[in-house]
């Protein structure tokens, strides 16, 4: 086997392992570990399989969906609250919103770099 073929085989094996680690982390709802694995995958010179792309897509959608649900819950708390509570609610909304934006920007950058 040529060196190039050995490298391609090793690279494909590493890619499959990283995608599988990301899948396990996603099933265990360990978002940070899944992100770590998928960032490594995105940084590789290899192309993602359909399964890998689907995994990445599902992860992004799940994380954003969860954070948007948090946003909606917090937004519903604004009704019939005093000014001191409203300030805390608004501050928390800003934190959640910036987290959503940060996550979207991060994945946009990762995807556009691949």
Q: Which structural domain, as residue segments, surrounds residue 15?
A: 3-113
Q: Considering only CA atoms, which of 24, 21, 19 is closest in space to residue 42?
A: 19
How many Cβ atoms are within 10 Å of 7's Cβ, its own excluded? 10
Distances (CA, A) of 112 to 6, 12, 46: 28, 21, 15
> What would the pLDDT profile of 56-110 be if each residue is shown by its tens digit?
787 778 778 888 888 888 888 777 677 888 888 888 889 988 988 888 888 777 7
> What would the pLDDT profile of 4-56 be if each residue is shown by its tens digit?
665 566 677 888 888 888 888 878 878 778 878 877 877 777 677 787 778 77
| 19 vs 34: CA distance, rounded Å | 9
Evaluated on CA atoms 105, 108, 113, 114, the torsion sign reads positive
CATH number of the domain to which 18 belongs: 1.20.190.20
- Provide the domain count of the chain: 1
């Amino acid at each position: 086997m040529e060196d190039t073929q050995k490298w391609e085989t090793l690279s494909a094996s590493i890619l499959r392992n990283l995608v599988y680690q990301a899948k396990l982390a996603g099933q265990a709802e360990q978002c940070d570990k899944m992100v770590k694995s998928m960032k490594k995958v995105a940084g590789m010179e290899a192309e993602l399989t359909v399964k890998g792309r689907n995994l990445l897509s599902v992860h992004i959608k799940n994380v954003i969906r969860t954070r948007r649900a948090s946003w909606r819950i917090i937004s519903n708390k604004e009704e019939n609250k005093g000014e001191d509570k409203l300030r805390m609610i608004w501050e928390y909304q800003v934190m959640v919103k910036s987290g959503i934006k940060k996550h979207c920007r991060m994945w946009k950058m990762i995807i556009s770099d691949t």
